[in-house]
Structure 1
Amino acid sequence: MIVRSFQLSDYKFVTSLLETVLTEECYEQTMEAFARQLSWDSDLVVVAVQDSEIVGIIIGTIDNHKGYYYRIAVHPHHQRKGIGKALIQSLRQRFEQRNVTKIMVAADEHNEPILPLYESLGYVASDFFRSFQKLSIVAG
């Protein structure tokens, strides 16, 4: 498996993956944030590729010297194989290279089911960012 920065040629495959994994409401919110993050800093959009197929994506953002894991998605056929952890760790390295002072997990209703994944990597409840505003609007 290769973990690398998103490339424009990945767009069709990433949108298909997101559509497969996310609910319709979550997909719409994520596509909005995805587009915004690509316009700000595409290096914080990371994909996992296995056998030349995109099997996972994580979207992050930085706001006010804080790094945020916004959305992660791994294709159902590839879940529970360490891909999510590899994506989180790769994005964490990017945050650290940019000297963020704190790394947070966007804990909206769509991310609640995967918070144990972040906890398995050492994140705790105080690292979970809960807001009534959409992160894609407040970050930038």
Structure 2
Amino acid sequence: MIRSDLQDVLSIEEASFEFAWSEDDFIRCLRQRSVIGMVAEQNSEIVGFMIYDLHRTHIQVLNFCTHPWYLRRGVGTSMFEKLESKLNERRDRLRTAVRETNLPAQLFFRTMGFRAVSVERNFYEESPEDAYLMEYRLQSHSIEVGEIERAAGTVT
């Protein structure tokens, strides 16, 4: 995400959320060294974006949004796959907070493999709304010794 993307990102944000981030919110967030913003484009048009914060053991998804016209067209899935590709053995989790009233986001993240791990009461400043804290864990692709033996045909 570059500065010239901000107006398109703001338009998508405002079209998508009742309590949208302001331009100042975006700028303040993106100035932090550990925060990264990325846009999704189709035919040179910004159709989605995500902002995430890199922590030592996880990635905190701060904002994740697809333009309403592009919902259910693979944009969110592509952005999730990009995020998932940033995970490794040390940084093996994605975390996010989802409004209790944002059922489409809850369902999307569940479809991607997230699960609700807790509820934060009165999480948001602008409304007395709770948030579901959701987490995705990278699946280990290590093979157990017994599985190696079975694959090799040596288990009796």
Structures share fold, TM-score greater than 0.5: yes
Q: State the match for 1:125 in structure 2.
A: 116
User: 1:44: Cα distance to partner?
Assistant: 2.3
Which consecutive residues of structure 2, in runs of 5 or more, have no partner in the other structure?
125-156
Change in Cα spacing, 1:18 to 1:42, as seen in structure 2 (3 Å) is: farther
Q: Is the 8 A contact 1:66 1:104 kept in 2?
A: yes
**1:1-140 correspondence to structure 2 within 5 Å:** 6-23=1-18, 26-28=19-21, 32=25, 34-41=26-33, 44-63=36-55, 65-94=57-86, 96=87, 99-109=90-100, 111-126=102-117, 130=120, 132-133=122-123
Change in Cα spacing, 1:41 to 1:115, as seen in structure 2 (3 Å) is: farther
TM-score (norm 2): 0.65
Change in Cα spacing, 1:64 to 1:132, as seen in structure 2 (3 Å) is: farther
Q: Paired residues, what number?
A: 125
How many percent identity over aligned positions? 24
RMSD: 2.9
Change in Cα spacing, 1:131 to 1:45, as seen in structure 2 (3 Å) is: farther
What is the rounded CA distance, in whole Å, between the counterparts of 1:123 and 1:108 in structure 2? 15
Deviations 1:43-72 (A, max 9, x none): 621111011110101121134533112222
Report the 3-state secondary structure (helix = DSSP H, G, I; strand = E; otherwise coil) of the residue aligned with 1:49. Answer: strand
Report the 3-state secondary structure (helix = DSSP H, G, I; strand = E; otherwise coil) of the residue aligned with 2:59. Answer: strand
Using CA pairs under 8 Å that are at least 6 residues apart, name the structure with larger relative contact order, 1 or 2.
Answer: 1
Report the 3-state secondary structure (helix = DSSP H, G, I; strand = E; otherwise coil) of the residue aligned with 1:125. Answer: strand
User: 1:31: Cα distance to partner?
Assistant: 5.6
Q: Which protein is richer in helix relative to its size? A: 1
